[in-house]
């Protein structure tokens, strides 16, 4: 009899525990969204100082949201985009004379917070839309390149400003960098299980080398060629032979920025009807 009682008690505990765990899992799913985004990316820096959306390229990625309550969500994103810049398009005489150019892929992983301006619940007919703002922290990987005699050449490893040489004593800048994405958006439900968002974000970086143009000065071409090779010397100063470039190659007082923006579609991972957040 005691054995049967123990079996029944254990069975009840297993069923109860399983029910609680399943309820928690389902509640977690009902608070969660997964989706994809597509849009554009561009950069602001030494080769494009002021013109937002200039040389915009395709970007895309994935997003995960977890709704803490109707005003706050946790988010994680994985994004890819391309940025580029050309002195020849600037319209400014000093930049046209400098004649530098670059393009770079951007791989970004970030996570942070999303704040709704009004109450919002996925799948809810009453709280079905909201403007929002977000702030994340993450890392990104870049690879600035330029066209040299018909081929794309990676710039970081050749040292166009004398990195990794005895001329400056500077190390090559890292290709993986910290980033703080932040911005605004607007989202609206598409029925009970889906939503669409429009989002614009700008990225605060801590590097001046998205474009390979930093605080370094123009170096003697022959000395740079001896230390880092002819390609480094040729790409360090791409001005015409009639122009003598001196001083810093870029603005050492500011860091580079980039932007990613676009439209995203997200889908609930569970049944929004059982979501208990407020």
Strand residues in the chain grouped as ranges (E): 32-44, 57-67, 72-86, 101-116, 129-142, 145-148, 151-154, 176-189, 194-205, 257-268
Q: How far apart are CA 260 and CA 266, in angstroms?
A: 17
pLDDT tens string 76-85: 999 999 999 9
CB 170 within 8 A of CB 216: yes
Q: Residue 108: phi, psi to the nearest 5?
A: -130, 135
State the pLDDT at residue 243: 81
pLDDT for residue 202 is more than 50: yes
Q: Domain map of the chain by residue range?
A: 31-274
**Residues, the chain, total?**
278
CATH of domain 31-274: 2.40.160.20
pTM: 0.87
pLDDT digits (tens, 9 = 90+) for 126-164: 999 999 999 999 999 999 999 999 999 999 999 999 999
Yes or no: say if 183 and 200 are a contact pair by the CB < 8 Å rule: yes
- Contact 193/124 with Cβ under 8 angstroms? no
CB 138 within 8 A of CB 181: yes
């Amino acid at each position: 009899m005691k054995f049967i009682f123990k079996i029944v008690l254990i069975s009840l505990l297993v069923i109860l525990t399983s029910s609680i765990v399943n309820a928690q899992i389902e509640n977690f799913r009902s608070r969660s969204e997964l989706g994809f985004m597509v849009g554009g990316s561009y950069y602001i820096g030494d080769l494009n100082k002021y013109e937002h959306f200039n040389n915009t390229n395709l970007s895309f990625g994935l997003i995960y949201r977890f709704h803490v309550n109707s005003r706050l969500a946790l988010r994680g994103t994985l994004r890819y985009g391309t940025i580029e810049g050309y002195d020849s398009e600037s319209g400014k005489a000093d930049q046209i004379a400098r004649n530098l150019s670059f393009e770079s892929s951007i791989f970004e992983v970030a996570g942070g917070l999303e704040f709704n301006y009004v109450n919002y619940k996925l799948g809810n007919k009453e709280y079905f839309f909201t403007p929002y703002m977000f702030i994340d922290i993450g890392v990104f990987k870049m690879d600035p390149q330029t066209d040299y005699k018909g081929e794309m050449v990676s710039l970081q490893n050749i040292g166009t400003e004398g990195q990794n040489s005895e001329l400056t004593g500077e190390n090559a800048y890292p290709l993986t960098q910290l980033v703080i994405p932040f911005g605004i958006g607007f989202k609206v439900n598409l029925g009970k299980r889906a939503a669409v968002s429009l989002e614009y974000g700008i990225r605060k970086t801590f590097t001046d080398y998205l474009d390979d143009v930093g605080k370094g000065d123009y170096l003697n071409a022959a000395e740079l060629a001896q230390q880092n090779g002819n390609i480094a010397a040729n790409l360090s100063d791409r001005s015409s032979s009639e122009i003598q470039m001196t001083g810093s190659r870029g603005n050492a007082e500011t860091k580079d920025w980039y932007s990613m923006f676009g439209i995203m579609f997200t889908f609930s991972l569970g049944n929004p009807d059982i979501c208990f957040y407020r």
